[in-house]
Amino acid sequence: MNKVEKIMDHAEQSCKSRGSRLTTKRKQLLMCLIKSEKAMSAYGLIDLCKEEFGDSIPAMSVYRILEFLEEEKLVHKLKLTNKYVACSHITCEHDHGAPQFLICSNCDQVKEIRINTSIIAELQKNVESVDYQLVNTQLEMNCLCKYCVTA
C-alpha cells in the first residue's frame, strides 16, 4: 500500500468511526489535495479533479465537500490565501494541538507544524488582556520555502 492509499484508507476509517462517509467525490477531492502537496483553491481542485479523474464537479459541490472534509479534520482552510490543504496528520491517532501553517507565498507549498501549548497560552493571555476572545488558534504565516529562497 503506497502513502496516498494509506492516508485515504485511514481517512475513510476515521469518517466511518464518526458515522460519516467518504463518497467517491469526497475521496477524489481529498486525494487531489494529498497528491498536490500544496495549498489549492476550490477552482484549482475542480481543474485537477477533471484532469485526474475526468470528472467535472460543480463549484458549489466542491465547496460543500471541502466544508465536510474540514469538519472531519481531513483538510484545513487557509484563511490567508483562501485555499485548502490536506491535513498532514490524517494518519496520526493523537491530538496535534493548534496548527501553524507556513505558506510559501511564491509556490503555495505549505508546511503544517505544531505550536507549543505554552505559546498558545501566552497568546490567549495577550488577547484577553485587551478584552478580546480568541476564537481560533490556527496561525498562518507568509514565508518562502527553501527552494524559492534559492531560486
Nearest to 107 by CA among 70, 49, 150: 150
pLDDT at res. 95: 63
Ordered per-residue pLDDT tens for the chain, 151 residues:
788 899 999 999 999 999 999 999 999 999 999 999 889 999 999 999 999 999 899 999 999 999 999 999 999 999 989 999 999 888 876 566 788 999 999 998 999 988 888 898 999 999 999 999 999 888 999 999 999 999 8
| Structural domain count, the chain | 1
* CATH assignment of the domain containing 20: 1.10.10.10
Residue 55: predicted pLDDT? 85
Beta bridge pairs of residue 110 = 103
49 close to 41: Cβ distance less than 8 angstroms: no
Owning domain of residue 54: 3-150
CB 80 within 8 A of CB 142: yes
DSSP codes of every residue in the chain:
--HHHHHHHHHHHHHHHTT----HHHHHHHHHHHHH-B-B-HHHHHHHHHHHHS----HHHHHHHHHHHHHTTSEEEETTTTEEEE-TTTT--S---SEEEEEETTT-BEEEEEPPHHHHHHHHHHHHHTT-------EEEEE--HHHHH-
pLDDT at site 94: 57
Q: Which three cell numbers stand for residue 4?
A: 496516498
pTM (predicted TM-score): 0.86
Rounded CA separation 34/38 (Å): 8
123 in Cβ contact with 85 (< 8 Å):
no
Instruction: Give the pLDDT confidence score for residue 96 in this predicted structure.
Output: 62
